[in-house]
């Protein structure tokens, strides 16, 4: 069964500090892994997307890593800002026959940045 597990469930950090969120998955056959940011009451917004051959990708202060061997990904946030307070969701896609993709969502990590 395809699963995506994220840790921690929630995290509180001081403004300006760094943090790392984890994502472990058992999705097969792997197609891609995406990190989304979801502000309260809004739709998720894509931060990064990585395929099998990519092991790191940055988007501003966000850096995602992927280890396809251990099936782990992390999202590192540098110099956190109050606006980083949100849920961060790891999403893994499996390739189905016919070129379709099956998407499995993690339950997210709720990050709160405090002044």
Compare residues 60 and 99 and give the one whose CB is closer to other proteins.
99
- Judged by CB under 8 A, does residue 51 bind other proteins? yes
Smallest distance from the beta carbon of 41 to other proteins, in angstroms? 8
**Shortest CB 52 distance to other proteins, Å:** 5
Answer yes or no: are the C-beta atoms of 45 and 37 closer than 8 Å: yes
- Please count the residues of this chain forming the interface with other proteins, following the rule CB under 8 A: 31
Burial class (CB in 10 A: 0-12, 13-18, 19+), 48: buried
Query: Does the protein bind other proteins through residue 107 (CB under 8 A)?
Result: yes
Task: State which of residues 34, 80, 86, 92 lies at the interface with other proteins (CB under 8 A).
Answer: 34
Does the footprint of other proteins cover residue 95 (CB under 8 A)?
yes
CA 18 from chain center: how many Å?
Answer: 16
Q: Which of 5, 7, 20, 52 binds other proteins (CB under 8 A)?
A: 52
Q: Where are the beta strands (DSSP E) in the chain?
A: 3-7, 10-14, 19-26, 30-38, 45-51, 56-59, 62-67, 72-77, 86-95, 101-105, 109-114
Q: Which is nearer to other proteins, 18 or 26 (CB)?
A: 26
């Amino acid at each position: 069964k395809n699963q995506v597990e994220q840790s921690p469930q929630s995290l509180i950090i001081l403004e300006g500090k760094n943090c790392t969120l984890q994502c472990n998955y058992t999705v097969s056959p792997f197609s891609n892994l995406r990190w989304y940011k979801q502000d309260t009451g809004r739709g998720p917004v894509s931060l990064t997307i990585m395929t099998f051959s990519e092991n790191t990708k940055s988007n501003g202060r966000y850096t995602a890593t992927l280890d396809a061997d251990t099936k782990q990904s992390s999202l590192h946030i540098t110099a956190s800002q109050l606006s980083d307070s949100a849920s961060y969701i790891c999403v893994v896609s499996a390739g189905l026959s016919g070129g379709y993709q099956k998407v499995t969502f993690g339950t997210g990590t709720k990050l709160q940045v405090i002044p």
